[in-house]
Chain A
């Protein structure tokens, strides 16, 4: 397998394809047959626009990269699991479910990966406070206002760098 790639992708610019949840598996199969056999990662993101999932695939021969971006319904975030096509998606989807509450239909078993099995809540959601106590070992902070660093203040739209 050759590894040369003449046009390395510039950092920051990844070719992205917007996908609706229903088309995800068919599109993934198509990319798999086109040579994008190397599964890289799955990310869940919550931003001001809502919840979305991004799957990163790569072509080991040509070095090409593709990102499958699936925007989700905020109230019921569900999409098909990529596990039947790429077995490596197993743990990434478990982690995404655990952290953001996004459900993957067809996943062999969505259960907690990084946190204890009986954990409540989805930590990476913006509504989840970072300093949540977890008794008995993690007591509530005596001074909840004291943070590690002062909370960053957003830059107003008019100010530039």
Chain B
């Protein structure tokens, strides 16, 4: 690699420098984001029917989420994506918050199914949290009850686009 040019002194124009350092950093940054997007490791965390349809059926042979780089990890310490699939109850909510805190940065959350988005038809029930975004910040919402596995794949692709374009 050729040596980096010395950085210009401060009294010259500071905006939009096109020195080699910046180019290298920008390339490294997009390489890093490409890597993050294509190796999202979800926490295997399903609550309800969306877990069967979304997590189990989508990870299984026909829809195969592994080809997108998703390897389900059983522990939050090794995961960077939390797919919340199912209704969040007030009993479960503190555990979700704790699991989210245990996940190291950078991390993303995907709310799958209408129960996770808004509580669906349970939202007026005393024990239900109307949407997981009352507990943790959500990046992508996937509607459906339950969403088709291809909808989950579309949501994951959307999240990958979001990461690559540095909106997350």
Q: 8 Å CB contacts to A: which residues of B116-131? A: 121, 123-130
State whether the Cβ of A148 lies closer than 8 Å to any Cβ in chain B.
yes
Give which listed residue, A134, A139, A147, contacts B126 with CB less than 8 A. A134
Contacts of B125 in A (CB 8 A): 130-131
* Contacts A137-B93, A137-B135, A139-B134 given; does A115 touch B127 at CB 8 Å: yes
Given A116-B91, A137-B135, the answer on whether A131 and B121 have CB atoms closer than 8 Å is: no
Given the known interface contacts A115-B91, A116-B91, A137-B90, the answer about A128 and B126 at a Cβ–Cβ threshold of 8 Å is yes
Let me know if A132 and B134 touch, CB within 8 A.
Answer: no
Identify B90's interface contact among A128, A129, A131, A134, CB under 8 A.
Answer: A134
Kindly list chain A residues whose C-beta atoms are within 8 Å of the C-beta of B130. Answer: 138
Pick the contact of B124 from A115, A134, A148 — CB < 8 Å? Answer: A148
Secondary structure of the A contact surface, majority rule: loop
Min CB distance, B107 to chain A, in Å? 20
B90 nearest CB across to chain A (Å): 5
CB-nearest residue of chain A to B122? A148
Please report the C-alpha to C-alpha distance between residue A138 and residue B129 in the assembled complex, in whole angstroms: 5
Shortest CB distance A114–B (Å): 8
Query: Please, which residues of chain A bring their CB within 8 A of the CB of B134?
Result: 137-139
Shortest Cβ gap from B114 to chain A (Å): 12
Mask, B90-112, CB within 8 Å of A = 1, is 11011000000000000000000
Nearest-Cβ distance from residue B96 to partner chain A, whole angstroms: 9
Assess A131 versus B129: contact at CB under 8 Å? Given A116-B90, A137-B93, A137-B135.
Answer: no
Instruction: Looking at the assembled complex, report how far the CB atom of A116 sits from the nearest CB atom of chain B, in whole angstroms.
Output: 5
**Min CB distance, A133 to chain B, in Å?**
8
The answer to the question of A14 belonging to the interface, with a C-beta cut-off of 8 Å to chain B, is no
Residues of A within 8 A of B135 (CB): 137
Q: A137-B90, A137-B134 are in contact. Are A131 and B127 (CB under 8 A)?
A: no
CB closest chain-B residue, reference A135: B90
The proximity string for A residues 133-161 relative to B, scoring 1 for CB distances below 8 Å and 0 otherwise, is: 01001110100000110000000000000
In the bound complex, CA of A148 to CA of B118 (Å): 12
A80 contacts the other chain (CB 8 A): no
| CB of A123 closer than 8 Å to a CB of B | yes
Given contacts A137-B134, A137-B135, is CB(A130)–CB(B93) below 8 Å?
no
CB-CB < 8 A to A137: which residues of B?
88, 90, 93-94, 129, 134-135
In the complex, besides A129-B126, A131-B126, 15 extra interface pairs with C-beta distance below 8 angstroms are A114-B127, A115-B90, A116-B90, A123-B127, A130-B124, A130-B125, A130-B126, A131-B125, A134-B126, A134-B127, A137-B93, A137-B134, A138-B90, A138-B127, A148-B124
Task: Report which A residues bind B (CB closer than 8 A).
Answer: 114-116, 123, 128-132, 134, 137-139, 141, 147-148
Q: Could you list 16 A-B pairs, sorted by A, with CB under 8 Å?
A: A115-B91, A128-B126, A129-B126, A130-B124, A131-B124, A131-B125, A137-B90, A137-B94, A137-B129, A137-B134, A137-B135, A138-B126, A138-B127, A138-B130, A138-B134, A147-B124
